[in-house]
Amino acid sequence: MFSPKRVRTTIDPRDGFTEYIEKELIHFARENPGVVVYVKPRRHKSPCLKAEYLNGGEEYISTHNLPCEDIVRWMAYMRGRSGYPTERLRKLQHTDHPSIQGVWTPWLHRDPQVNITTYPNEELSSAPVKEKSATEIIREMFEKQKLMESETNSAEIKDLGEKNISKVISTKF
């Protein structure tokens, strides 16, 4: 889900932050119109990135002595976050022989394309079309068979009824 964010930055001319502001910040702001960027100078404090998300979440990252490339990566990281706190997934059981297949997570079989999709999206908004299971196919075949049997039984009863009527009529006349 896309949520616009505000990102505050503080400036210290001794670090790679000044280089980031001079070279990269304008490009970042143009490429991400849903992100508001504030540059706020603070004396005698190291520079930091502060992300304020629409859901109320906040995140601080100190950029003290970081080069410009690392700051670019941190800005991309903060832009992609939802603002919800990162939670550790824990298992409620323990084993001495863990599976070599890995741990299941809710994101295990998700399509990575969903993360970069622009919303609203018609394809992702529609209900998923699922194929019939083998059980459903067998049930349908059984229903068809019962229907065919009931049709043949009713046809036989109809034929028997006509024969009996013709017998009764021939015996009376």
Order the strands of the 48-53 sheet from edge to edge.
35-41, 5-11, 48-53, 58-62
Q: How many CA atoms lie within 13 A of 160 on its CB side?
A: 6
- CA 35 – CA 37 distance, rounded (Å): 6
Q: What is the pLDDT of residue 15?
A: 63
Q: What is the pLDDT of residue 159?
A: 66
Q: Residues 91, 94, 95, 99: what is their CA dihedral angle, to the nearest 10 degrees?
A: 10
20's tokens:
């980031």
The separation between CA 57 and the C-alpha centre of its own chain, rounded to angstroms, equals 21
Closest CA to 6 of 41, 47, 37: 37
Sign of CA dihedral 58, 62, 68, 71: negative
Q: What is the pLDDT of residue 1?
A: 45
The per-residue pLDDT for range 91-115, each reduced to its tens digit, is 777 778 776 677 777 777 878 777 7
Instruction: Grade residue 152 by pLDDT with cuts at 50, 70 and 90.
Output: confident
Beta-sheet pairing, 35-41 with 5-11? parallel
For the cut 50, the answer to whether the pLDDT of residue 2 exceeds it is no
**Terminal alpha carbon distance of the chain:** 86
